[in-house]
Amino acid sequence: MAEEFKKKKDEIYKLVMEFEMKMKNNFDIYYDSESYEKITKWYIDNHKFKIGLKAVNFALSQHQYSSDLLIQKANILIALQKFSESLSSLEKAHSLNPTDENIFILIGQVKIILAEYKGAISILNKALIYSENKDEVNYQIGLAYQAQKNYKSASKYFKKAIEININHENALYDLAYCLELTGELENSVHYYKKFIDEDPYSEYAWYNLGNIYFKLKNFKKSVESFEFAIAIDEEYSSAYNNLGESYIGLENYELAKVNFYKSLELDGPSPEIYSAIGRAYYHLDDFATSINYFQKSIKIDQFFKESYYWLGKSLVSLDKWFEAIHYFKKAHKLNNENVDYIKSLAFAEYKVGNMVSSVDLYTKALEINPADFKTSLEFSLIYYESGDIEKAINIIKEGIVEVPEESLLYYRLVIYLMDSGRYKESMNVLESALSLNFDNHEVLFDFVPNFETQSALIRIINQFRNNNLK
C-alpha cells in the first residue's frame, strides 16, 4: 500500500515537472482536465498558491466548463485571501453543477468571511436539500450566526449538527463556546451527558464535557471527563493538554507536568505546550526550569505573549526585578489591554523605584477594569508603603464604589484608617466588613502588629461572632 502511494506521488510530481518545463519553454501544452486537477492539487498541497493560480487559469483556458477546476481555483484564491474573486469562481462552478453540496458549503464559507451572512445562510439552507452531510451544513449555518454574535441561533444549528453526528468535533466545541456566552454553560452539562448516554465511546463528547467542567472550575469532573476521552483514544493530545490544565486547577502540578509532556510527545513542540510545561515547573518552584521552557516557547514564536508574562513572573520569584520588567514590557507591548500584564509590570516598576511608571500603569489597569478589586488592593498598597495613606484610602474607597460587595476592600480600609488615626471610622468600616464576610477578618493579622493587643478590634470581632454566628 505504501509503495503504491509513493508510486502515485512520484507520477504526479513528474507530471508537475513536465508541465513546468513545457510552460517555461513555451511548448504546446494540452492535458485532460483530470491531469490538470492533479497538477493544481499538487500546488495546493505544497502551498505554492501563486504558481498554482497560473496553472489553474491555464487549465481553465482549455477546460472552461470544469467545475472541479473552478473549485480548485476558488480554494487557491481563498488561500491568497482573494475572497471576492474566489466567490466569483465558485458561483461559476455552481452554475455548472447546481446540486454539488461542496460548492454550496464553500460559497457559504466565503460569504461568511465577506460578512454576507444572510446570503451565506440562504445558500446553506438550499444545500440541505441536496446534501448527504447535513451535519456539516448545519454546522456552517451555525458559524454564520455565530459570526453575527447571534449565539442562541448558532447553538440551535450546532445542536442539529451534533444530533446528526455526535462525533462532529467542531460542532461540539463551538456549541460549548456559544452556551458559555449565553450563560447556559451549566445547562449544557446535561445536554452533553445525554449524547454520551447515546454514544459513550465518543471521545469528542467526553472532551467537550471536560472543557465545560473546566470553565465551571469543577476540575475534579473535568479530570474525569478528559480521562474518559483518553481511555477511548490514547493519542488524543488535546485531551492530555487539557487534563494537564485541570491538574493545574487542582494544584497537582506533578500530574499536570506528566500530561503536558504526553501532549508534547504526541504533537511535538509548540509555543503553547512549552509554555504549559513552564507553568507547571513555575508552580513547583523550579524557576530555572520554568524559565528554560518559556524561552523555548518564545524561540518558536516570538509573539507568544503568555510566555513573556510567565517568564517575567519566574524572574520575579528569583528577585530579578529588572530582568522581569524587560519581559513584562514585551508581554504588555503585544497586548496592552491585558490587566494581568499591566499589574505585573506596575508592581515590578514599583519594586525598582519607578514610582511614576508604576502609578501610571495601575491607573491604566483600573481604567480598563474598575471593578477589579485586586488592582485596587495592589495600587493602594504602593501608596501605603510609601507613606501616602490618604491616597491609599481614596483608592480603596473608589474600589468600594465599584465593588461594594467585596469584603477585602473594607478590611484593607480598616487598616489604612487605623494607621491614619481615624479609629472610630475604622471600627464602623470593620462592622461592614464582618457583615460581608466574617472569615476574611484574618487578613487583618497580616497588617496589624500585635493584633492581640488591639482590644477595640478584638471586642468588635468577638461581639459580631457571638451575635451572628451562633
Of 232, 180, 182, which is closest to residue 211 (Cα–Cα)?
180
Q: What is the mean pLDDT of residues 26-33?
A: 86
pLDDT band with cut points at 50, 70 and 90 for residue 469: low
Conformational region of residue 232, where left means phi above 0, alpha means psi within -120 to 50, and beta covers everything else: alpha
Of 292, 251, 253, which is closest to residue 275 (Cα–Cα)?
292
pLDDT band with cut points at 50, 70 and 90 for residue 451: low
Q: What is the mean pLDDT of residues 412-438?
A: 92
The predicted pLDDT at position 321 comes to 98
Q: What is the mean pLDDT of residues 347-352?
A: 96
Q: Could you tell me the three cell numbers for 77?
A: 484564491
The predicted pLDDT at position 301 comes to 94
Q: What is the mean pLDDT of residues 6-20?
A: 82
pLDDT digits (tens, 9 = 90+) for 49-106: 999 999 999 999 999 999 999 999 999 999 999 999 999 999 999 999 888 888 888 9
Q: What is the mean pLDDT of residues 407-432?
A: 92
The predicted pLDDT at position 192 comes to 81
pLDDT band with cut points at 50, 70 and 90 for residue 403: very high
Q: What is the mean pLDDT of residues 114-130?
A: 91
Better-scored residue on pLDDT, 445 or 435: 435
pLDDT digits (tens, 9 = 90+) for 276-328: 999 999 999 999 999 999 999 999 999 999 999 999 999 999 999 999 999 99
Say whether pLDDT at 1 is over 70: no
Please give the domain boundaries of the chain with CATH numbers for all domains.
370-470 (1.25.40.10)
pLDDT digits (tens, 9 = 90+) for 209-251: 999 999 999 999 999 999 999 999 999 999 999 999 999 999 9
| CB contact set of 185 (below 8 Å; sequence gap of 6+) | 176, 179, 212, 215, 216
The predicted pLDDT at position 208 comes to 87
0.95 exceeded by pTM: no
Q: Extract long-range pairs of 347-350: CB within 8 Å, 24+ residues apart.
A: 347/378, 347/382, 348/312, 348/316, 348/321, 348/324, 349/325, 350/382
**Percent of the chain at pLDDT above 90?**
69
| CB contact set of 427 (below 8 Å; sequence gap of 6+) | 456, 457, 460
The predicted pLDDT at position 358 comes to 96
Lowest-pLDDT range of 55-69, 116-130, 435-449: 435-449
Q: What is the mean pLDDT of residues 440-444?
A: 88
Note whether 358 and 347 are within 8 A (CB).
Answer: yes
